[in-house]
Structure 1
Amino acid sequence: MFTTRPTLQGTFGMVSSTHWLASQSAMAVLEDGGNAYDAAVAAGFVLHVVEPHLNGPAGEVPIIIAPAGGDVRVLCGQGVAPAGASVAHYRDTLGLDLVPGTGPLAAAVPGAFDAWMLLLRDHGTKPLADVLKYAIGYAEDGHPPVERVTETIATVRELFVTEWTSSAEVYLPGGTPPAPGALLRNPRLAATWRRLVAEAEAAGGADRDAQIDAAREVWRTGFIAEALVRQAARPTLDTSGKHHTGTLTAADLADWSATYEDPVTYDWNGWTLCKAGPWSQGPAFLQQLALLPAELPAYGSAACTHLLVEGCKLAMADREAWYGDAAEVPVAELLSDAYNAGRRELIGERASYELRPGRPGGREPRLAAHVRAVAAGDAGARGLAVGAGEPTVAGAGEPTVAGVGEPTVAPDGGTRGDTCHLDVVDRWGNMVAATPSGGWLQSNPVVPELGFPLGTRLQMAWLEDGLPNSLTPGRRPRTTLTPSLALKDGVPVMAFGTPGGDQQDQWQVHFFLSVALRPPVRGGLDLQGAVDAPNWHTESFPESFYPRGMRPGSLVVESRTDPEAVAELRRRGHDVTVGGPWSEGRLCAVARDPRTGVLSAAANPRGMQGYAVGR
């Protein structure tokens, strides 16, 4: 089969990420004697600089690690709702029905920085200064921004000029978005990291771990925390059309830290898939596998795609009813054979236009009133989905469909489908998958003293009590971020993931099945062939991003899809939109063959910026 690039193979180290500068920075760390975790942290901070429209230091990151000879673990870098972020405050005091998609009201306690620091301290080998020098260099000396950065800045230019002036000072040099080929600098961010390193080294002395813990303390209680709290208290225009202050306080920052937990797993045909818990949408990936019949139709056929689409709808309906951090989630029952056998019977020959959550253990599903209204076709609720399925930021000369590839961005900064991803495997067999997101340049004004904005992850929580995903102080909003790690016969063999908001656990399922069902190349997994294969997504469930709309029966496919398959899918009742030939997903993957020690990697050609490197 033709692929856009080869699946890389080697024995020293492999990296795949959504930006070539992050990939190469991680590889430089490996070449300098660092391990996969040192490399991942360096790449993560570079992504904050070179993909600022997709992630930032005050965002969040779930990380899955497989230490050589150790257990797979999830490192949760998703911050919680501040103590003042209650349903009563947002609904009764402020009169809001949904958490705004931008501004300080949407800011959770920042999670990404502390998670990266814990990963470096507990599993890395390099000093803090060594892994931050790459990000500092690109922020200080500049980097040529990819087209999507410039397009995003242009879209929100008026907002920056009239309201978010601290953002204009960083991202509108000379009053205009950076020109193609020009260098984009962020000296304030570079100065922040230089000061952080200096204070950490002064407090921690020559002890590497003490330095890292000192850096964490600077973030939680030092000059960074002080600046974040000041920013949250500034009235800011958000997607509600009003100016609001946030709820983040010094106590919220001081009291939170990233944590480790066991992954949720599911066994399928000799594979074990590992995901973050139901505070993410990760188990929806596993539910889709659990819904598959023993015998699949030919992969890529209309019959197989129909089966996968309908299974996805059922899994995502369960996500809406059962996932969150504000109530107990019946994960074991949702993944049980008996439950999924019953759910599988709901898949008919024609596309469903209903939202059909299940009843694990006989429990009644709990759906937000907004979800019920949108699913029922209420014109007022459905009308909130302005721009659903329509382009707001075009890219690479192709039609852009909501949620596809990189984020659609509205002039008020509202964003959907915004994320980065990176995977690393080293010569010792350490493996990591991470999906950093949030805190992007269009989420909140740049904190003047720091050079980066707050995040907006609270927009994913509901302003209604009694739901698993109700906005709840001290609890995590359910996130779409969902890296993956796969074991074969109990041994870690592959780390992978993609940006894409609600689409992440659609594209990843398709990628994984393509890998698992595809013949090997050069004796190994055909990662690049699976990345390049035509992909698709559905929006037949409420989006996680403001304004939380849905498109029942929708199916968006790449134009490379077999026209006869498209016709058959339409005959089965799917509302098919044909997008650009390379418009679905931005997958990354690395792998290791435990029999030979051969490493491999692949990256997505869509978006023209993801690359794998290795040797």
Structure 2
Amino acid sequence: MLFRPELHGTRGAVASTHWLASTAGMSMFDRGGNAFDAAAAAAFVIQVVEPHLNGPGGDVPILAHRSGSGRVDVICGQGPMPAAATVDAFTERGLAVVPGSGLLPAVVPGAFSAWLRLLKEYGTLPLEVVLEPAIGYAERGYPLLPKAAAMIGALSELFRDTWTESGRTYLRRGVAPRAGERVTNPVLARTFRRVVSEAQASGRDREGRIDAATEAFHTGFVAEAIDTYLAKAEEMDSTGRRNGGLLTGADLAAWRPGLERSLNLEYRGHTVHKAGPWSQGPVFLQQLALLEGFDLAGMGPGSAAYVHTVVEAAKLAFADREAWYGDPAHADVPLRALLDPAYAAERRALIGSEASVELRPGRPDRREPLLPPLHDESAAPADPAWLGELEQGIPAIMKLTAATGDTCCVTATDAAGNMVVATPSGGWLKSSPVIPGLGFPLGTRGQMATLMPGHSNTLAPGKRPRTTLSPTMVLRDGQPYLAFGTPGGDQQDQWTLGFFLNHVDHGMGPQAAVEARTFHTDHVPTSFAPRRFRPGTVVLESGWPAEELELLRRRGHEVELAPDYSLSKVCATGLTGDGLVLGAASPRGAQAYAVAG
């Protein structure tokens, strides 16, 4: 029995992690737009209504399939480290890791201009139409999500006394708003309105106005506000000290979102597309390459044998992520070797009947792996309490969440065969103080880079830190089939893998695959500060058959149970065999919704 129906329509479908964003995206079809217009409108709304998980100052990878092209493009909205961000710049401050909050880990904001590039090159509607819903919610208000209210409440003392611009943005007369309360962000609304105004004043055509909006962000008033603020600001961060930032207006001026070809791999008649190793996307492909050698359908989706096999494959693939992934423009990532069938066969042989408790990266091209050191520098207990929250680089209040990361998801498909999916994140309200005059904070993705020399993900000027953001797109015979993603930090490519295997190997429809009970392993070190490693742990939603849990323990797994329906918020859109659009969204958290029409 499904909690929600699988939705089908004849024009288009949008699924996202917020119902207001999904409806805003769907409204673009009513204005004559396509899937790309719909996704951009939904994403701009999410920047307003999910401020605890993302913002215009954050990051995003976007996968886009244009109808009839037979390919998937990647728009890289992951901004690089500033020109001043050297290893010495951190070690000279006495730091062994990049902090998880504050100004030091800030990278060039990439999310806002990445959506502008998608809109320019793939969309059809004017910028002012696509931004209209987001401006409306920022000006007139929206109901505050419970997790956002909890986060603001936990940080209210910090916002009142230290990050005072954040206090002006998120507090109401010095008090945290309640869950469900109508809140606004008029400063952010003015920022969006000014971007639109300057774009229209340029007198250019549709694409030229979007270029002008990008210029307003990267070389105009937005960049000037960021540069002015960071030139003097020293703000409290997770070190317990005040630190200035390294980002400048020149860094914003020097970068624009790039366009890349996706990576892909064939799996049981499906062509699966992901972003490059500056994301964790290839780990999804590596898991599929390992699992293709097993009869997963014969095991059954709830069996200990199935969970064991999938988890052991994840351990191997994520160990390679730790050792090898990084920005391929700055590092020699052995990607061809990592995705080679012979390498997958060699690694598959390591999956036995017992759980591994070792971190075992491979030797692609017979190269020796290099693992970054773990630095768990958290204070326990932290005083004041908000400092303990800043030490956790993830966008969550630790005592309230079973998962170890969160973000957002937007996907849209139209009847013409255009399809797009993205996982916007970064620039959340816990990451960094709000920038005066702009209404949003910077992102802290720099925390994911290591200060250890010689690694693919070693911090360097102009280099993208390896992120966890990882949407997925699937084609069949060159035609659009499914686009999906989920919040979840390091767990994204385990939770979406479970969804995909439920559909392809176990024959579930997309909505049933979304709602099926979820599991993951915490065996691999987290990408967020402080990096933690829990060898052999497998986390399953409660409700799993007791006898299968016991069989997992006998295999050597450290079994943990999470609350029922608490892991993942998979959102998916696609096309059916008879040309209908489909939408599916997880009921977990009572937040994500799909709309089709």
Measured against the shorter chain, the TM-score band is: over 0.9
* Preserved contact between residue 61 and residue 78 of structure 2 (Cα < 8 Å): yes
> What are the within-5 Å matches in structure 2 for residues 361-440 of structure 1?
361-368=365-372, 370-371=373-374, 381=375, 384=378, 407-409=395-397, 417-440=405-428
Which residue is equivalent to 2:217?
219
* Matching residue's letter, 1:303: A
> What are the within-5 Å matches in structure 2 for residues 49-64 of structure 1?
49-64=48-63
Among candidates 565, 579, 582, match of residue 600 of structure 1: 582
Distance in 2, matches of 1:517 and 1:351, equals 23
* TM-score normalised according to structure 2 size: 0.94
Distance in 2, matches of 1:136 and 1:432, equals 23
User: Secondary structure at 2:559's aligned position in 1?
Assistant: strand
* TM-score normalised according to structure 1 size: 0.92
Could you tell me how far 1:295 is from its partner in structure 2? 2.0
Which residue is equivalent to 2:544?
561
Which residue is equivalent to 2:470?
482
- Number of residue equivalences: 579
**Structure 1 residues 270 and 441: alpha-carbon distance in aligned structure 2, compared to 1, 3 A threshold:** same
Which residue is equivalent to 1:377?
none
Which stretch has the larger CA shift, 171-180 or 250-259?
Answer: 171-180
User: Secondary structure at 1:353's aligned position in 2?
Assistant: coil
* Matching residue's letter, 2:222: I
Kindly provide the CA deviation profile for residues 387-445 of structure 1, in whole angstroms up to 9, marking residues without a partner as x: 9xxxx9xxxxxxxxx99xx943369xxx9513100110012110000110000011111
User: Secondary structure at 1:607's aligned position in 2?
Assistant: helix
- The reply to whether residue 201 of structure 1 matches residue 200 of structure 2 is yes
> What are the within-5 Å matches in structure 2 for residues 64-463 of structure 1?
64-70=63-69, 71-91=71-91, 93-203=92-202, 205=203, 207-233=205-231, 234-292=233-291, 293-296=293-296, 297-325=299-327, 326-368=330-372, 370-371=373-374, 381=375, 384=378, 407-409=395-397, 417-463=405-451
For structure 1, which runs of at least 5 residues remain unmatched after alignment?
A: 372-380, 393-401, 521-525
User: Secondary structure at 1:193's aligned position in 2?
Assistant: helix
**Structure 1 residues 94 and 410: alpha-carbon distance in aligned structure 2, compared to 1, 3 A threshold:** farther
Distance in 1, matches of 2:264 and 2:178, equals 46
Which stretch has the larger CA shift, 168-177 or 55-64?
Answer: 168-177
* Preserved contact between residue 384 and residue 548 of structure 1 (Cα < 8 Å): no
Which residue is equivalent to 2:389?
none
Distance in 2, matches of 1:232 and 1:275, equals 34
**Structure 1 residues 439 and 25: alpha-carbon distance in aligned structure 2, compared to 1, 3 A threshold:** same
RMSD value over aligned CA atoms?
1.8
Which residue is equivalent to 1:609?
591
Could you tell me how far 1:382 is from its partner in structure 2? 5.0
* Matching residue's letter, 2:105: A
Distance in 1, matches of 2:537 and 2:505, equals 26
User: Secondary structure at 1:75's aligned position in 2?
Assistant: strand
Which residue is equivalent to 1:579?
562
* Preserved contact between residue 41 and residue 133 of structure 2 (Cα < 8 Å): yes
Distance in 1, matches of 2:27 and 2:343, equals 48
* Preserved contact between residue 395 and residue 428 of structure 2 (Cα < 8 Å): no
* Matching residue's letter, 1:543: T
* Matching residue's letter, 1:225: A
* Preserved contact between residue 78 and residue 110 of structure 2 (Cα < 8 Å): yes
Structure 1 outlier segments of 4+, above 4 Å: 381-387
* Preserved contact between residue 81 and residue 462 of structure 2 (Cα < 8 Å): yes
Could you tell me how far 1:294 is from its partner in structure 2? 4.0
- The reply to whether residue 512 of structure 1 matches residue 500 of structure 2 is yes
Distance in 2, matches of 1:385 and 1:535, equals 31
* Matching residue's letter, 2:484: F
Distance in 2, matches of 1:159 and 1:33, equals 45
**Structure 1 residues 382 and 458: alpha-carbon distance in aligned structure 2, compared to 1, 3 A threshold:** closer
Distance in 2, matches of 1:317 and 1:251, equals 36
User: Secondary structure at 1:110's aligned position in 2?
Assistant: coil
Kindly provide the CA deviation profile for residues 238-280 of structure 1, in whole angstroms up to 9, marking residues without a partner as x: 1111111111112111010001111111111101110000010
For structure 2, which runs of at least 5 residues remain unmatched after alignment?
A: 387-391
Which stretch has the larger CA shift, 329-338 or 99-108?
Answer: 329-338
* Preserved contact between residue 385 and residue 548 of structure 1 (Cα < 8 Å): no
Among candidates 453, 456, 467, match of residue 468 of structure 1: 456
* Matching residue's letter, 2:510: L
Distance in 2, matches of 1:570 and 1:562, equals 13
Kindly provide the CA deviation profile for residues 345-393 of structure 1, in whole angstroms up to 9, marking residues without a partner as x: 111211111100000110000112x24xxxxxxxxx4564979xxxx9x
Could you tell me how far 1:574 is from its partner in structure 2? 0.8
Could you tell me how far 1:162 is from its partner in structure 2? 1.7
Aligned-residue identity in percent: 52
Distance in 2, matches of 1:181 and 1:554, equals 36
* Preserved contact between residue 382 and residue 550 of structure 1 (Cα < 8 Å): no
Which stretch has the larger CA shift, 260-269 or 296-305?
Answer: 296-305
